[in-house]
Structure 1
């Protein structure tokens, strides 16, 4: 009887391995049959999601109709001017962002994701309340930590694998103007995440992830149609569409490291989720764009970081642009 059971299991797994992906009983749900797919509206933590919820609450044509929880994560389902949406907060950090967004894409028929949140400015032109909408997102702390060489000032014992990768990166810089110009920050030597997606036979190192061009175009169009975004004082803010953002597992509040981010990545803003969200969207072939409103100067300020003072204000300015972008998405889908 035991041998018969093993034989049956072998037949089952053999048939599964030869089956096409869409016939497998395992894996995420298949939403290909749904024509009117959803837009995911994403933030990272409480002040950001509160600003979005407050804006929706003041609109007659934006409603949350159902709230679901999966594995403790809250997903709000509803409509924005007829467009089906799911609103979620990822939680702070790259791990939370990757987990919650992948869950959302597995559970709901999403084809577009727009994220809004706060960030620290690494470009000196930005002040709190200003908005950056980067075209490219990089991981800044995917790194190799190494020992110094004995009796050699500012030299390090680099592993052989990393030296080979640096050579590849140097060659790539000739053809890719947006690739990072890597140098070390003390014992920290930057590296890149290796990514795989459907159709690739092996992992490839990705220097950055690029936002969907049509959503960048929509954002520019939204800026031409919505009222000028201002601070509570009435001061107009500046909005920059394009450029670079960086993501890491650390809260950046160091002037030297801030300068290094600018030098290596030409970064405008730094935060803790966006590149992870971008990677998940890239692997799942989801259109995406991320809006970041400046709450602090990532160490460029004098004295203590007072980003918490501007969290709600920055979330408010970012939400105004988010609503303008959602309007453009609705118009395109009509």
Structure 2
């Protein structure tokens, strides 16, 4: 009988042949970066790290600023970001999502190095390409997904249709909100001193700031066009533009998981005074975003 009991325990069976209860997986904060410099900056702050590789993607589990996290790269652009975020949600017990990365600034009041924590995010190139007529471009007839926003030439913004966890309703929306409780922590956390100069002694003209609030937009485009930058700022009232955050916010909303993104400006998306400043300030912007994310995690309640 002892041998039989041992065999049942080994097979994970108990009593009347019922499976043994598995231990509840440890819940973690998903900390996501878009590309290598951001990922490296945050890895340096982690302890107790172990690694899992899933579909070629590296997921680092450990402690960051006193919180249990899983750190990984989203990959650049919208599809990669949505794909890896959903992969993490399917494989790990994720309590919330924190995105850290660089971006282009489109609000004229902001400058390179500033870190923006937006209230909400939109996918600015979710759109219909209108038909050219003698009087101008017109959107497709009968399209009920049109957003109440002005067009840019033939490009007419559209809403996004989706379903989400906990609801049977099909909905259409333009904006995906950051989590209000996480935004409150970002507003209340102690001040963070951001970097102003690169290791090569290239310095910004002003000390960078952390700005909590406003709008962010994302799309699958490396934006370096002054005219479209002005249109995006006027149309969406956005402070910052990137290639991933709105996709992650979309996935988080669909899964009913709290989300927030920290984006440091590496360039001005076409509004730079000369050449695009990204190549000069990518590393500085990545470090600034990582500094704010680390401070946020420290301030975040258990």
TM-score w.r.t. length of structure 1: 0.78
Which of 179, 188, 197 does residue 212 from structure 1 map onto?
A: 179
- Measured at CA, do residues 148 and 215 of structure 1 come closer, stay the same or move farther in structure 2, by a change above 3 Å? same
Q: Would the aligned equivalents of 1:51 and 1:312 in 2 still touch at CA under 8 Å?
A: no
Which of 129, 132, 139 does residue 158 from structure 1 map onto?
A: 139
Q: 1:199-238: per-residue Cα shift (whole Å, max 9, x none)? A: 433421111011011111111122xx24432413595312
Cα separation, 2, equivalents of 1:278 and 1:67: 25
Which of 36, 55, 58 does residue 46 from structure 1 map onto?
A: 36
- Measured at CA, do residues 165 and 227 of structure 1 come closer, stay the same or move farther in structure 2, by a change above 3 Å? closer
Partner of 1:258: 229
Cα separation, 1, equivalents of 2:178 and 2:145: 25
Partner of 1:268: 239
Cα separation, 2, equivalents of 1:304 and 1:81: 37
Q: 1:40-83: per-residue Cα shift (whole Å, max 9, x none)? A: 111000111112123x1xxxxx4142111100111001112542
Partner of 1:80: 64
Aligned partner of residue 132 in structure 2, secondary structure: coil
- Measured at CA, do residues 137 and 227 of structure 1 come closer, stay the same or move farther in structure 2, by a change above 3 Å? closer
Partner of 2:194: 229
Aligned partner of residue 142 in structure 2, secondary structure: helix
Cα separation, 2, equivalents of 1:156 and 1:78: 53
Cα separation, 1, equivalents of 2:259 and 2:53: 23
Per-residue deviation at 1:264? 0.9
Listed as ranges, the matches of 1:110-259 within 5 Å are 110-149=94-133, 151-152=134-135, 155-162=136-143, 164-166=144-146, 169-170=147-148, 182-222=149-189, 225-232=190-197, 236-259=207-230
Cα separation, 1, equivalents of 2:170 and 2:238: 26
Q: Does 2:268 align with 1:284?
A: no
Per-residue deviation at 1:165? 4.0
Cα separation, 2, equivalents of 1:32 and 1:237: 45
Q: Does 2:51 align with 1:67?
A: yes
Q: Would the aligned equivalents of 1:42 and 1:116 in 2 still touch at CA under 8 Å?
A: yes
Aligned partner of residue 245 in structure 1, secondary structure: strand
Larger helix fraction of residues: 1
- The alignment yields a C-alpha RMSD, in angstroms, of 1.9
Q: Would the aligned equivalents of 2:67 and 2:298 in 1 still touch at CA under 8 Å?
A: no
Aligned partner of residue 218 in structure 1, secondary structure: helix
- Measured at CA, do residues 65 and 51 of structure 1 come closer, stay the same or move farther in structure 2, by a change above 3 Å? closer
Q: Would the aligned equivalents of 2:65 and 2:295 in 1 still touch at CA under 8 Å?
A: no
Partner of 2:12: none
Per-residue deviation at 1:193? 1.3
- Measured at CA, do residues 285 and 238 of structure 1 come closer, stay the same or move farther in structure 2, by a change above 3 Å? same
Aligned partner of residue 156 in structure 1, secondary structure: strand
Cα separation, 2, equivalents of 1:74 and 1:161: 44
Cα separation, 1, equivalents of 2:145 and 2:160: 12
Q: How many aligned positions are there?
A: 275
Partner of 1:94: 78
Q: 1:100-155: per-residue Cα shift (whole Å, max 9, x none)? A: 01000111111111111000000011111111100010000001112210x32xx2
Cα separation, 2, equivalents of 1:32 and 1:193: 38
Q: Does 2:87 align with 1:103?
A: yes
Identify unmatched segments of 5+ residues in structure 2.
Answer: 1-21, 198-202
- Measured at CA, do residues 227 and 117 of structure 1 come closer, stay the same or move farther in structure 2, by a change above 3 Å? closer
Per-residue deviation at 1:161? 2.3
